[in-house]
Structure 1
Amino acid sequence: MAFAGQRVWVTGASSGIGAALARAFGRAGAELILSGRKVPALEAVAEAAGGNAELLPFEATDINALPDIVERAGRVDLLVNNAGISQRSLAEDTDFQVYRTIMEVDFFAPIALTKLVLPQMLARGHGHIAAVASVAGKVGSPQRTGYCAAKHALMGFFDALRTEVAHRGVKVSTIVPGYVATPIATRALTADGTPRGEGADEVDQGITPDEAAATILDGLAKGQREIPVGAEGGMEMALLDMKRRDPEGLFDLMEKLGAAVVAKFGKAAA
């Protein structure tokens, strides 16, 4: 199997796509390193993944703690930067600190971890680094200005990193999920930085985390540089092709969507 015996580090592994990836890598025979904030949740994921896992819990934005954590991790064959947080608020209503928080979690944290793991891979002449971005890293969407900014930045960094390290034996993959039914919408930050909480969201209609994990592992095993993840024929996945094929049409479509969202959630509608 492609991942048998490899040391695979998954961040944000306590739920959602991260937990599903841990289970899938465990079934594939990988030696797991699992990170997240909630130790009991990580322990449950480790057990579901077969028990062959080392837990390295940490707060994603605690950059100063990372050097020691990376040293404890030891050899890493595949790093999957999965931890992240989303947003549900209009730009005009959003506190500036919310943007800082999203950028710290979704962009600066995975960059910091990658920079610490990368040297060992370059020294060995092989390794694989992956980052879970989003369709929002390709397409601007209402109520997600901060999330889109962070995921666009993430895509840019890892696409650029690939140009520097691919010829030195290190693969770089970006993962582009559409709608996956995870708690990400419930935990999304609102205008004042508090979690959104329960409520209907289009993400809830997406594929399961296990389906997403299967697509991701297949893409990683093939060395795919960009891995789209979503329902075949899904509207959000079609936007990726539309961005390349008809960008002006995409902008028109998203502007209409934005107008409907502002009419529903904007101050004038309150």
Structure 2
Amino acid sequence: MQDRPTVWITGASSGIGAALARTWSQQGARLILSARREEALQAVKSNCANPDQHTVIPLDLADPDSLYAAVDAATEAHDTIDVLINNGGISQRSRAQDTEVEVVRRIMEVNFFGAVTLTKALLPHFIKQGAGHIGVVSSVVGTFSTPGRTAYAASKHALHGYFDGLRAEVYDAGLRVTLICPGYVRTNVSRNALTADGSRYGQMSDSIRNGIAPEACATAIIRALKEERDEVYIGGIETYAVYLKRLSPALFNRIIRLVDTT
């Protein structure tokens, strides 16, 4: 990766995405900042180092047309794009039996199909330049699931299935893929999570409130990308569940039934 890469971050208006923008800009990166809310993106841009070097391109991960238009705008504004961070997404706080199918579809559309569509639209640019790095912000629940997160976990599992295969396909073309699996990070992810009927949860859960700072998560993500890691787990004790699930699935399944995952 170049010392001063051009980095495209989705979900850049808040949380991990905004922290990535601030941290990477301090290291000299040129940024493309994307999310639905242009006003919020402009505020993030103004808080970055060297704001005049950065570009704001609004998009909606649930609207494929906006994603192709965003790629056209990004490649017109920048000769090279070195890194794409598929960070935008939405969480869930509802039990499977209560959750409307349309809510499940919404979560899959944003978290999975949005990332896949944007990546596919940008892939010819990466292949033509013979280099590029795709970072995919999944979750520790991309490797296991918990009560109240069935659709969210499914969308993150799907990212692993897709991007693990893509990593192998594009390796010889000079491209790299890193799956990023945060645990609890102090953001508004639970406040913005969807409930059973599609309304916002509107509360910050204790697990999120006690999570790591977004800046710490951003620093770890950037380090993993520079090291060209295939997959990285970032967070606190909750990341140990990844290994417990691998080593003792039966024990994991007994424990997860008792854990408060709100």
TM range (shorter): over 0.9
Where do residues 71-110 of structure 1 align in structure 2 (5 Å cutoff)? 71-74=72-75, 75-110=80-115
Residue of structure 2 equivalent to 1:268: none
Q: TM-score, normalization: structure 2? A: 0.94
Q: TM-score, normalization: structure 1? A: 0.91
Residue of structure 1 equivalent to 2:242: 240
In 2, Cα distance between equivalents of 1:147 and 1:102: 6
Residue of structure 1 equivalent to 2:183: 178
Residue of structure 1 equivalent to 2:4: 5
- Do the aligned partners of 2:191 and 2:201 also contact (CA within 8 Å) in 1? yes
In 2, Cα distance between equivalents of 1:160 and 1:93: 33
1:66 CA drift (Å):
1.9
Amino acid across the alignment from 1:83: G
Amino acid across the alignment from 1:100: R
Residue of structure 2 equivalent to 1:61: 62
1:92 CA drift (Å):
0.8
Total equivalences in the alignment: 256
Note closer, same or farther for the CA distance 1:135–1:11 as it changes in structure 2 (3 Å cut): same
In 2, Cα distance between equivalents of 1:139 and 1:251: 10
- Do the aligned partners of 2:188 and 2:204 also contact (CA within 8 Å) in 1? no
Where do residues 66-215 of structure 1 align in structure 2 (5 Å cutoff)? 66-74=67-75, 75-215=80-220
1:201 CA drift (Å):
3.3
In 2, Cα distance between equivalents of 1:59 and 1:148: 21
Residue of structure 2 equivalent to 1:249: 251
- Give the gaps of 5 or more residues in structure 2: none
CA deviations over 1:160-218 (Å, ceiling 9, x no partner):
11010112210000000000010000000000000000243312210000000010011
- Give the gaps of 5 or more residues in structure 1: 266-270
1:65 CA drift (Å):
2.1
Amino acid across the alignment from 1:46: K
